[in-house]
Structure 1
């Protein structure tokens, strides 16, 4: 996507960067963390954020990532069932994902549950064979979905992929396995937590409180996963956590609200089954995935524009001057909203 930017004026030549930082007081050009950026600086960020989301064609990139994620979905479920069988009965997995009904579209949840039931009903030998020979293929297919997200993050951070084939796939495999591990822990806890609460004989209000804590824990896990994607997904010098957290929090909260809103919309207003027939559930899940990826990339765009607002080094390690930081958005200053004309 490099070379097809909407506004080349948004990127100042290197020799003007330090002069611009001193010449534009009150905009957070010397900010060491996002909270140091004043209101005028956030207006600059908001203007550039809108320009970049449209200029980077985030909706189109999210559609491409959605395609690869959906291609990877069923191989990922096959691998997930194989791994889940090591810690619990695979036949219980479909029942334990019911808690996702609050964020997944109804049709999408049914689609995943039916596939999980089909996979879990296979014979033990089939599952063993799947783990021995098919798991690698399934993980490789699921891995392509993660790499498609990396491509989108590279666009958001204005980077080209510079990592070697081996390093890129090791990182993406790490994310793939990590996501499956967290998913297994979450789903197993759905079955374990009620049993533990019953054993402890807690009062009704304490039991309710502990049960409700699963949702904040889910949000924390989602937010932490998004933060890891922002830190290790782009091919660039790693950003400090302080420059990653705002976008991750925004993406997590907006994703949850958007998921609830979209599920409500499907249940009360839209009838995809009437329009698309038997494909209604697939279409609904596809649109939800597309919206989720858009929000994820928008959070990355927010983080990148925050780094673009300050001349201070936002990458890890010893402070380096602009032009030597190994991160495009940290190596130059973004244009201010006042200079857009």
Structure 2
């Protein structure tokens, strides 16, 4: 009996010592390689978006819409649309001027007008009129005046880009800390890159059908398919670059900006077609706004586009929040020192 009592006493002592050590030990960080296992969060250990299960994506989408409301994305989209409208004409000037150095500016005008078919008729006419004015004023040669004009146009257009960057920062829960010069430089690079990107896109979209036309009817059908596949792929790529560069944080890996880019592209195409159908068949903007109808409709389309782009940023942001793995580029870092608000936190179980 005495032996049993001593054994029980020894066990109680050991238990108290272990409990004391556990109480003194710091809590295990969520960045621990084992953290997330058994937490009940679907996708907590996902290394890529594809590894997040369907239940995890349902949570991501729900949080994205909730966050879009909390971040006042509808109001942010209005600001981005307004400044985007002010940036459209300078961007078109830069685009047509640069394209005119290597090809007939009328070709880019025809291509852009063809791609704008998804817009309502009043907005199409507005775009066509502005492009016609820009093409008519082009010189087709590289002069000092042209260089100054293009640089001035890019600088003006970059103001719209800068407002988009600020809105994406909010979607990623980041606080802007970059200086005015650095911020403007990034906006200029993004704007210039967008112009070059559009030029390349126009060349690819215009050339592919011409090459495939030689195959006859099959080639023409295939040419249209290739044209739109290229266009969708290029838009997805362009949005991915914006989502990666625009926010003030350590850049996420491309895999973590792809879901929002793809979803935003699909929603943008479907939304543009639906909006065009509504305006052309049920809208009464011409009666209400008269000569301003084209501007109003185009602003509404820009608002729709801006909202969808910001929603894509919210999707990417919440996808990073779903996993505890490091989603930023470079070597994996512990949670808390990754330089990104969403990457440095994770969903509570």
Confirm or deny a common fold (TM above 0.5): yes
CA contact (8 A) 1:96 1:188 kept: no
Once residues 32 and 123 of structure 1 are traced to their aligned partners in structure 2, the CA distance between those partners, rounded to angstroms, is 50
CA contact (8 A) 1:91 1:121 kept: no
Greater CA drift, 273-282 or 186-195: 186-195
Per the alignment, residue 255 of structure 1 pairs with: 268
* 1:285-329 residue CA offsets vs partner (Å, 9 max, x unmatched): 101111111111111101111111111111111111111000000
TM-score normalised to the size of structure 1?
0.86
Per the alignment, residue 327 of structure 1 pairs with: 340
Residue of 170, 174, 182 corresponding to 1:155: 170
Distance 1:186 1:41, change over 3 A: closer
Residue of 83, 86, 95 corresponding to 1:71: 86
Structure 1 residue 83: Cα displacement: 1.1
Query: What are structure 1's unaligned runs of at least 5 residues?
Result: 1-13, 337-341
Per the alignment, residue 199 of structure 2 pairs with: 184
CA contact (8 A) 1:237 1:316 kept: yes
Per the alignment, residue 292 of structure 2 pairs with: 279
Once residues 91 and 171 of structure 2 are traced to their aligned partners in structure 1, the CA distance between those partners, rounded to angstroms, is 26
Residue of 125, 129, 135 corresponding to 1:110: 125
Query: What is the aligned residue count?
Result: 321
Once residues 147 and 61 of structure 2 are traced to their aligned partners in structure 1, the CA distance between those partners, rounded to angstroms, is 50
Greater CA drift, 129-138 or 302-311: 129-138
Once residues 196 and 18 of structure 1 are traced to their aligned partners in structure 2, the CA distance between those partners, rounded to angstroms, is 53
The answer to whether residue 49 in structure 2 is matched with residue 34 in structure 1 is yes
Per the alignment, residue 288 of structure 1 pairs with: 301
Per the alignment, residue 63 of structure 2 pairs with: 48
Structure 1 residue 175: Cα displacement: 1.8
User: How much is the aligned-residue C-alpha RMSD, in angstroms?
Assistant: 2.5
Structure 1 residue 174: Cα displacement: 2.1
Per the alignment, residue 236 of structure 2 pairs with: 223
Per the alignment, residue 208 of structure 1 pairs with: 221
Query: What are structure 2's unaligned runs of at least 5 residues?
Result: 1-26
Once residues 68 and 41 of structure 1 are traced to their aligned partners in structure 2, the CA distance between those partners, rounded to angstroms, is 36
* 1:68-96 residue CA offsets vs partner (Å, 9 max, x unmatched): 11111111122222212101222443323
Distance 1:186 1:22, change over 3 A: closer
CA contact (8 A) 1:273 1:280 kept: yes
Distance 1:207 1:334, change over 3 A: same
CA contact (8 A) 1:251 1:298 kept: yes
Once residues 169 and 204 of structure 1 are traced to their aligned partners in structure 2, the CA distance between those partners, rounded to angstroms, is 49
Distance 1:129 1:159, change over 3 A: same
Per the alignment, residue 155 of structure 2 pairs with: 140
Once residues 334 and 253 of structure 1 are traced to their aligned partners in structure 2, the CA distance between those partners, rounded to angstroms, is 27
Distance 1:124 1:18, change over 3 A: closer
TM-score normalised to the size of structure 2?
0.84
Once residues 40 and 198 of structure 2 are traced to their aligned partners in structure 1, the CA distance between those partners, rounded to angstroms, is 47
Distance 1:194 1:27, change over 3 A: closer
Greater CA drift, 182-191 or 121-130: 121-130
CA contact (8 A) 1:93 1:116 kept: no
Question: Which structure ranks higher in relative contact order (CA pairs < 8 Å, sequence separation ≥ 6)?
Answer: 1
